[in-house]
Chain A
Amino acid sequence: MDITLLLTSTVTLASGIPLTLLLTFASLLAGFVLAVPLSFMRASSRKWLSLPVLAYTYVFRGTPLLVQLFIIYYGLGQVGAIRSSVLWVLLRDPFWCCLLAFSLNGAAYTTEIFRGGIQAVATGMIEAAQAVGMSPLQIKRRIIFPIAFRSVLPSYANEVISLVKATSLASTVTLLEITGLSRKLVSETFAPYEIFLAAGVLYLGLTFLLTGFFNALEARLNGAPRAKAHTRRVALQQVTHEL
């Protein structure tokens, strides 16, 4: 094990972080925008609304993301209508293919997570909102979704973490994010231990940061129950100042 190489390759691979984060947050945003209406459709008691969404989430959650990515990147070019359309400008670019695949895949998981939260909202709250005269859309926006989102926040945090890890598949369609850079570097130096360990450390840093962010968000949304642990830390600092 060469420690210097480990450190230098960590620095080199760090230049892949912006692309990893761009892929993560762009597909997170697109997946969220898709998932909110879809989860309400999926939670609906009307079959013609919920069944098509179920078919979508079932197929996207039942097949590997790698296959989905390859269908979009390699497969869509086989269809002449797509090749000759305006969309081809985007679909022949690996970045947009990754974005499309990760967004559709993430949206399928997020839809099912939100659906669970929506169905768990107590009927009394919805009835109360109806009683004060809110419109169905207002009830969804002001009552159902905020309560549902808060209750599924831990599962949503897990989904965000898996999305960060899923962006590593972008390396299979020539994108040079953290994993792509590390594979390129390994093929040049053939020092797999140091370089893949460095990549692992970078991903670990990203997932830890996100875990910390979601823990803080959860503490905030649940009315700051961690005030106690915080005061103890402050007290300790005061002791060291006195010394």
Chain B
Amino acid sequence: MDGFVVQFVNGLKTTVLLALVSGSLGMALGLLAAAGRLSRWRAVSAGIGFYTTIIRGVPELIIILLIYFGGTVAISAFFGRYVEVNAFLAGVVSLTVVFGAYTAEIFRGAVLSIPAGQIEAARSLGLHPWQTWLLVILPQMLRIALPALANQWISLVKETSLISIVGLTDIMRVAAIGAGSLRAPLTFYLAASALYLALTSLALVIFNLLERRFAVPGR
């Protein structure tokens, strides 16, 4: 077990990095998608509606497998020889696509709950549409979206474990290797679950602090 402590620390780093990178990229994608979903152009709005509906109706595992094995086929065809896609990269791409779809719906709901008077007031003050989004909509929308966003981040941390299926050496994979080599699966998977529980608890504490700091008065 001792030799695995270092490996578990490395696995923990990989899991945290994967969650942070795909979470940040996914939130950026979600913001863009929410703005597009609310846009006046029907085609853009319908296209993004299609994206969020499809992604939320298909298991994450299928999306991960499609991107990992599909990416391997595409890149192998491009180079003319067998090239395996980096599991971390495939994980970032697939989790970003999934996280973007869920956060887009959260952000859309939050934007719609901002009173129209706020946006009209910004326009009558002569703010550019960009300024309206950045200075009026975004700050109000983010704090309304915070509780749902917290839930989504916690599911993201848990979903990173699925990337171990395509070979990423994260917490889950280290546990699987240890379980196999020392023939002590219960010990190793319990250790992994303790690490995941610590990560999700940490996320919960951070979001509770954020919620207290940015609480919406009267809600």
A residues bordering B, Cβ < 8 Å?
59, 62-68, 70-71, 74-79, 161, 164-169, 171-172, 179, 182-183, 186, 190-193, 196-197, 199-200, 203-204, 207-208
Query: Which one of A63, A204, A208 has the highest number of Cβ atoms from chain B below 10 Å of its Cβ?
Result: A63
* B159 with A70: CB separation less than 8 A: no
Residues of B within 8 A of A204 (CB): 54, 57-58
Are B196 and A169 in touch, CB under 8 angstroms?
no
Q: Which residue of B lies closest to A211 (CB)?
A: B57
Would you call the interface of chain A mostly helix, strand, loop, or mixed? helix
Q: Which 10 pairs show the lowest CB-CB distances between chains A and B? A: A192-B69, A75-B186, A168-B59, A74-B185, A64-B161, A165-B59, A196-B66, A207-B57, A64-B158, A78-B186
Q: B65 touching A192 by the CB < 8 A rule?
A: yes
B172 interface hit (Cβ, 8 Å): yes
B61 touches A179 (CB 8 A): yes
Closest to B66 in A: A196
Residues in A neighbouring B172, C-beta threshold 8 A: 64, 66-67
Total count of chain B residues near the partner, CB < 8 A: 39
The answer to the question of B28 belonging to the interface, with a C-beta cut-off of 8 Å to chain A, is: no
Return chain A residues, CB-CB under 8 Å to B70: 192-193, 196
| B209 within 8 Å of A (CB atoms) | no
If A70-B176, A70-B179, A75-B190 are given as contacts, then 12 extra A-B residue pairs at C-beta distance below 8 Å, sorted by A number, are A62-B201, A67-B172, A67-B175, A67-B192, A74-B186, A168-B61, A171-B61, A192-B66, A197-B66, A199-B62, A200-B63, A204-B54
| Structural contact, A75 and B189, CB atoms closer than 8 A | yes
Do the beta carbons of B58 and A203 come within 8 Å of each other?
A: yes
Nearest chain A residue, comparing its CB with the CB of B183: A78
List CB contacts (< 8 Å) of B180-194 with chain A: 183-187, 189-190, 192-193
Which of chain A's residues have a CB closer than 8 A to the CB of B63?
A: 200
The verdict on A62 contacting B200 (CB below 8 Å), with A70-B185, A74-B189 known, is: yes
Closest to B58 in A: A200
Q: Is the CB of B66 within 8 A of A200?
A: yes
Q: Give the distance in Å from the alpha carbon of A202 to the alpha carbon of B148 in the complex.
A: 28
The answer to whether the Cβ of B162 comes within 8 Å of any Cβ in the partner chain is yes
Give the complex CA separation of A182 and B62 in angstroms: 9
Determine how close the nearest CB of chain B comes to the CB of A31; give it in whole angstroms: 18
- Chain B window 143-167, contacts with chain A (Cβ cutoff 8 Å), 1 for yes, 0 for no: 0000000000010001101101100
For chain B, residues 42 to 97, give those with C-beta under 8 angstroms from any C-beta of chain A.
54, 57-63, 65-66, 69-70, 72-73
CA distance A158 to B65 in the complex (A): 23
B197 within 8 A of partner (CB):
yes
Q: How far is the CA of A82 from the CA of B201 in the complex (A)?
A: 31
For this complex, 28 residue pairs linking A to B, each with C-beta atoms less than 8 Å apart, are A63-B196, A63-B200, A64-B158, A64-B159, A64-B162, A64-B172, A64-B193, A64-B196, A70-B179, A74-B179, A75-B189, A77-B185, A78-B184, A78-B185, A78-B187, A79-B186, A168-B62, A172-B165, A179-B59, A179-B62, A183-B65, A186-B65, A191-B73, A192-B72, A192-B73, A196-B65, A200-B54, A200-B58
